Chains A and B, each alone.
Chain A
Amino acid sequence: MNIGYYPGCALHGSSIDYETSVRACMKALDVQLDELDDWICCGATAAHCINHKLSVALPARNLGIAEKMKMDKLFAPCPMCSMELKKASDELKANPELRKEMAEIVETPVDGTVDVVNLIQVFQTVGFDAIAEKAKEKLWRFKPACYYGCLLTRPPKTLQFDDPEDPTSMEELLKKLGAEPVDWNSKTVCCGAGLTLADEPAVAEQVRKILQDALDNGANCVVVACPMCQVNLDMRQADAKKLGLTQDVPIFFLSDLVALAVGLEGKDLDFAKRYVAIPNEMKKTDPKPEDPKPAKPVAAKKEGAAQ
């Protein structure tokens, strides 16, 4: 399967390990990523809070290139990017005057017809069952708290993805891979997002609340599908511990766990770049010790010999 690919700035900067993980995972699933030519930043929070027109124009430029490249789907692993791209495409589709204005501003025709998808939607396109069939071992060691944050489901009208109050698509996939996701309350609580450098105390408190809730509900790791959520929960965890967070929580991208399940290891996924160390037993999947698999053939042989 081929799919259009918009990495976004974070994946070429402070979340370069997310790109490694996404690329390794997609390769293992036979998904070919066709990168958008000369893509530019989506504008993120800064654009939508300073200049509305710019917050449409920057995504519109990228959508225009995708249309020129005749892509039908454009995969943006960062939910900030995918939400901004989708919001702009909705505005463009609904408003012919805006299409005309934007074509002039971004110097390429743009209709907003490309279907923008997030990481979970790519897995849905591949098929959860098809992924489960490729799994080498079960993710039996993982009791993840699946964390969606804000922009995978909000704004619901634009994204129309999962339940904005209680999304469950990550849990559904991970259960099929043998993990035991926990039930918890903070899956859509904001991590502090883009204020990580501008309002550190606010971010540290959000991170503490979210991670403590995950621990209190029995999770041994948190799984995200957003570079900003990952960097806040991981890099700001030291600050959250000063505010009372009781223990370290490893933070995984969803693509990490899918990749581990289909047989890749921590070294393929840039785990060395994480701030909170990933425990060794979580760096690859292994057979469950009480699994009767290795013991059974021996017992069967003995019985056969006795007969």
Chain B
Amino acid sequence: MEKPNDPRARVEELAQTKLSDCYQCGKCTAGCPRGADMDLPPTRMMRAAQLGQIEEASKADSIWRCLSCLTCSARCPKSVNVSGVVDALRQIAVETNSVSPKSAKIIGFQKAFLRNVRRNGRTNEVEMASDFEIRYFFRRFDVMNVVNTGLLGPKMIARGKMHFAIGSPVKDKALVKRIFDKCKVEL
């Protein structure tokens, strides 16, 4: 970590952990519910990060397969914040616009969620789901996705679980926008 502008420093700062603490035992991958579907499972992601291959790791599809269940961090015998490293790589991927194309849908959802919070202060699920589905449809032309989610809509409405207006709206919505702006959130 001697070189200035070492990309590892940013990851360590965001994740509040020390990458060199990882001794590659593999316990994180063994307990990961998505490990089998990952191009870069947690142990290998940690190794890539240790070697300074931050750009490569941030392009991996697996950081978006991660469910953020925190099992890896909880079980790490060296108390490395593995899921924090995943989050740091995700943030870097978003900032550098290098999200794996396979994960467009997942990042699309997370951004729709935050746009909604920025606008309303709380999530309005109907507005969020529509925003997400419409943008995703135009990007991927995935008709089945829209149909599948569309089928859920009536079931949710029938149970009074989809609300077209928030029960009690946030009074100071402008403040929420200011918080987002001061944190420099790009959506």
Contact = CB atoms under 8 A, between A and B. Distances in A.
A50 B114 contact: yes
A228 B185 CA distance: 25
Interface string A184-200: 00001110111101111
Nearest to A19: B167
A275 B155 contact: yes
B156 interface: yes
A9 B106 contact: no
Interface string A40-60: 110111111111111001100
Given A47-B114, A150-B70, A197 B179 contact: no
A254 to B, nearest CB: 20
B64 to A, nearest CB: 8
B114 A40 contact: no
Given A189-B33, A273-B161, A40 B183 contact: no
Interface string B38-74: 0000000000000000000000000001011111011
A78 B118 CA distance: 20
A189 B70 CA distance: 10
Contact of B123 (A13, A53, A198): A13
User: Chain A interface: which size bin?
Assistant: 35 or more
B103 to A, nearest CB: 9
Pick from A16, A46, A53 the residue with the most CB of B within 10 Å.
A46
B108 A40 contact: no
Interface in A140-156: 150-151, 153-156
A47 B114 CA distance: 7
B29 interface: no
Given A47-B114, A105-B183, A164-B74, A193 B91 contact: no
A290 interface: no
Interface in B59-104: 65, 67-71, 73-74, 79, 86-88, 90-91, 94
| Interface class of chain B by DSSP | helix
Contacts of B24: none
A16 B71 CA distance: 29
B175 A54 contact: no
Contacts, number: 158
Given A14-B156, A38-B170, A150 B69 contact: yes
Interface string B150-183: 0010011001111100111011100110111011
User: Chain B interface: which size bin?
Assistant: 35 or more
A30 to B, nearest CB: 25
A107 B74 contact: no
A59 to B, nearest CB: 11
Contact of B69 (A57, A107, A154): A154
B68 A45 contact: yes
Interface string A1-33: 000000001001111110000000000000000
A190 B68 CA distance: 9
Contact of B106 (A53, A153, A189, A198): A198
B110 interface: yes
A29 B46 CA distance: 48
B86 to A, nearest CB: 8
Interface in A166-202: 188-190, 192-195, 197-200, 202
A272 B33 contact: no
B7 interface: no
A157 B79 CA distance: 10
Given A61-B175, A198-B109, 13 more contacts: A14-B125, A16-B163, A41-B121, A46-B111, A46-B114, A50-B91, A50-B187, A54-B180, A57-B179, A105-B179, A157-B79, A190-B71, A194-B67
The 3 closest A-B pairs by CB, nearest first: A190-B69, A198-B109, A154-B70
25 contacts: A12-B167, A12-B168, A13-B124, A13-B125, A14-B161, A14-B162, A39-B122, A41-B123, A45-B110, A47-B114, A50-B187, A51-B185, A52-B88, A54-B183, A54-B185, A57-B179, A150-B69, A164-B74, A190-B71, A197-B109, A197-B129, A198-B132, A199-B106, A206-B33, A235-B152
Interface of B: 14, 33-34, 37, 65, 67-71, 73-74, 79, 86-88, 90-91, 94, 105-106, 108-111, 113-114, 117, 121-125, 129, 132, 148-149, 152, 155-156, 159-163, 166-168, 170-172, 175-176, 178-180, 182-185, 187
